[in-house]
Amino acid sequence: MTPGLQKREERAQGLLKDLWTKNKKLEEELQKLRVSKLTDSSSPDIPHNTQKCEEKPVYFVRSEINKREKNEDSFQISQILPEFGKAPITVLAVADGMGGHSHGEDASRETLKKVSTSLHEQLCIESSLNSLGETQIDVAMLSKALWQALQQANGYLRRLVEANKWGKSGSTIVICAMIADTAVVAFLGDSPMFHYQRKQGKLIKVTQDHTVAGVLLRAGLITEEMARYHEGRSQLEFYVGSPQLPKEEPIESLILEKGDILLLCSDGISGSLKHEEITQIMAKNGDNLQLTAQQLIQASQATGETDNQTLILWSHSTQIDLNLPAVKETKSY
């Protein structure tokens, strides 16, 4: 190589080295800018992984296997958008599969899948098909859609159990559809929903237990305390997959106010706790849904409860506690 070519090559290598060094420094400066944006002192109280939010609902979900071999509970939180630009319908649901080794987990999961499909078909597809006007979603329409969804799920699960020889299998369900401040609840079995009214400090059990003990309680033949220990407390009268459904539609509606909390759960939570115990736990923890969930599960387990435990807590239109995640889902198997 001639001296001239060697000098040009050395100069080129020097330029490349300078470019690499400058590029590395530029990347370091860009990284510093990214970090400075995350730690901007204009929002000192907001964690780096949290977005600043205004009014929006908060919910917390937890599902535990507890002392059982498998978790036969299922849960779902979803939204249905009947029309673009319209308020969505929020759907919360918990299902508790029955049958032990006879596919209880499959029964609860298939129940929620079928109910979700039916609601979407009724509230989105059928209401918009060949329709030139706007869809008006009201309590009557939600009630009809929920009841039809339960009927379809019941027939579907019965066929599924028979075709797959699952033996005696089925599922409870409690499902709540909300639009704005209105909630409509449908239920089969003994998975309950509670409405904690923040202003009044009052807890209302919205659903009824479709059990032998529940029938006796509503007839005034036994007290609530007796129902908790009655031999028929676990004998279901109606459930998804049962030979017949109740003549009176198991539908309730309610109005929600800011700060109200909904609790949907399997009987692994509610079955061993008194109404007053649930009220006290929900009242003292306010919007800290994570702590409420933890204490409900611990209190239930302290009674010797061994069943699967699943709950959804929903705080209606409250300010998010930025120290808590907006959504928390855990499921243990």
Q: What are phi and psi of 302, to 5 degrees?
A: -65, -20
**193, two tokens:** 């929903």
pTM of the predicted model as reported, rounded to 2 decimal places? 0.77
Residues of the chain above pLDDT 90, percent: 58
- Residue 204: pLDDT over 80: yes
The DSSP letter of residue 167 is -
- Residue 326: pLDDT over 80: no
What's the pLDDT tens digit per position in 88-132?
899 999 999 997 556 999 999 999 999 999 999 999 888 778 776
pLDDT at position 10 is 67
Contact call for residues 121 and 146 (beta carbons, < 8 A):
no
Contact call for residues 159 and 169 (beta carbons, < 8 A):
no
Return the higher-pLDDT residue of 263 and 3: 263
Share the mean pLDDT of the chain.
Answer: 82
Return the higher-pLDDT residue of 248 and 296: 296
What's the pLDDT tens digit per position in 41-50?
333 332 323 2
pLDDT at position 49 is 30
pLDDT at position 52 is 31
When pLDDT is averaged across residues 203-207 and rounded to a whole number, the result is 98
The most confident of 53-57, 80-84, 101-105, 308-312, by mean pLDDT? 308-312
Q: DSSP letters along 61-125, please?
A: EEEE-TTSSS--EEEEEEEE-SSTTSPPEEEEEEEEEE-TTTTHHHHHHHHHHHHHHHHHIIIII
Q: How do strand 309-319 and strand 55-64 relate by DSSP bridges?
A: antiparallel
pLDDT at position 222 is 80
Q: What angle separates helix 139-163 from helix 104-120, to the nearest 10 degrees?
A: 140
- Residue 201: pLDDT over 60: yes
Domain boundaries, the chain: 55-331
Return the higher-pLDDT residue of 96 and 325: 96
Question: What is the CATH number that goes with domain 55-331?
Answer: 3.60.40.10
